[in-house]
Amino acid sequence: MDFQTKVELPAGLPPVSHAERILLMGSCFAENMGRLLAENKFRVDMNPFGILYNPLSVSTALVEILKGKVYQEKDLFLYKECWHSPMHHGLFSASSPEEVLEKINTRLSQAHRSVHELDWLMLTFGTAYVYEQKETRQVVSNCHKLPESCFNRRILSVDEIVNEYTSLITSMVARNSHLKVLFTVSPIRHIRDGMHANQLSKAVLLLAIDKLKQRLDYVSYFPSYEIVMDELRDYRFYTEDMLHISPQGIEYIWEKFQSLYMTSATEAWMKRIDKINKTLLHRPADPDSSAYQELMKKTAQERERIERELGISFS
């Protein structure tokens, strides 16, 4: 007996290979997939602005990466003795503006150098709700615990998202004809919105992505949201907060992703890479033994072969 409702997976999608450059942006689900790609030594750049949840923040960040924006102190604000960027995750915040700007501009410069040579742009939307600063009417990526009275909260429309991304992606592909764009919707529920409002938010995101997919041939969709809602319809696949996906659930989605986007040749490389990763993480009882030294020698040789043949680095 089959105790799952299987999600129909798309067919005929272009494969992802180790030779390609990948930029992932969006919610913490993008970080989960990005981490697994990085562990398997794909050429990954992940969330140069930190975790972003709404489509407009993601698109604004992308535009700033494309233009190579350089942040200045006027782009920051001081709150509770800490400097923040409204466009960045709290990981970039610090006690001095110089430190914040150093972290932001170093990361932005890294992303800008490769953005026009991307093969894959993978975007994960978390919520259609946005917070706009009342004074500037600008959508922020992070409120940094400022009082809610500083913001107007609203939900984006389907057309607002579609028009924004049609223009942005079209301009990116015009400059980079081999760019492929993959959208996902985060299966993580935003409980602060309320369960009904969360469902409305996810519906807006799904409808917008579907319209983009119909309009643009190079856009595809990976059904991570549907896989969790249907195939993993059990709280054992969640962490203790009952909102985020457990490591077991993430591994399940990763296997689905791998089956769709990895060729047998790429999977063979991944198995060799995984074997090296596990060997390097192993802590032997006797590191000075001849057997362990021989294992390390063979592992180093295999590592050098893979680095040379794939043009990657384990460091």
pLDDT, tens digit (0-9, with 9 covering 90-100), for 130-153? 999 999 999 999 999 999 999 999
Contact criterion met (CB below 8 Å) for 186 and 209:
no
pLDDT, tens digit (0-9, with 9 covering 90-100), for 298-308? 999 999 999 99
Report which residue type is found at 115: V
pLDDT, tens digit (0-9, with 9 covering 90-100), for 186-209? 998 888 878 999 999 999 999 999
From CA 152, how far away is CA 221, in angstroms rounded?
31
CA nearest neighbour of 205 among 138, 89, 123: 123
Contact criterion met (CB below 8 Å) for 25 and 123:
yes
Is residue 107 over pLDDT 80? yes
Q: What DSSP designation does 94 have?
A: B
Q: What DSSP designation does 245 have?
A: B
pLDDT, tens digit (0-9, with 9 covering 90-100), for 35-44? 999 999 999 9
Other Cβ atoms less than 10 A from the Cβ of 246: the count is 15
pLDDT, tens digit (0-9, with 9 covering 90-100), for 48-95? 999 999 999 999 999 999 999 999 999 999 999 999 999 999 999 999
pLDDT, tens digit (0-9, with 9 covering 90-100), for 163-189? 999 999 999 999 999 999 999 999 988
